[in-house]
Amino acid sequence: MDEYQDFLKRVSDNVKRMRLERGKTTEEIAFEALGHSSTAFVNQAENLKNGKHFNLKHLYLLAKYYECSIEVFLSDTDI
């Protein structure tokens, strides 16, 4: 993996870790936090499948939903 892919992996891992720690499903995140009509994007972005990944808007919405700082998703330490 190159450096950028490592960064995307870290962000995706942090998003997934936060979701699991908060007891949320991908469905809840897709509908309630991101306003998506399907869970497909969240599943693909958490696993970096089909070129999908979280962007700044997604991280902003997730931080607002979880009432945390956006930096939580960028951190290379456990949240």
pTM for the model: 0.91
**Domain residue limits at 30:** 3-74
Q: In the predicted model, what is the mean pLDDT of residues 27-50? A: 96
Give the relative orientation of helices 56-66 and 3-21 as an angle to the nearest 10 degrees. 20
Kindly report the CATH number assigned to the domain that includes residue 64.
Answer: 1.10.260.40
Look at the chain and report how many structural domains it folds into.
Answer: 1
Q: What is the pLDDT of residues 8-30, one digit of tens each?
A: 999 999 999 999 999 999 999 99
Residue 54, domain member (yes or no): yes
Q: Residue 51: pLDDT above 70?
A: yes
Q: Residue 76: pLDDT above 70?
A: yes
Closest CA to 56 of 29, 74, 30, 37: 74
Residue 14, domain member (yes or no): yes
Q: How many angstroms separate the CA atoms of 24 and 38, rounded?
A: 15
Residue 79, domain member (yes or no): no
With cut-offs at 50, 70 and 90, classify the pLDDT of residue 78: low
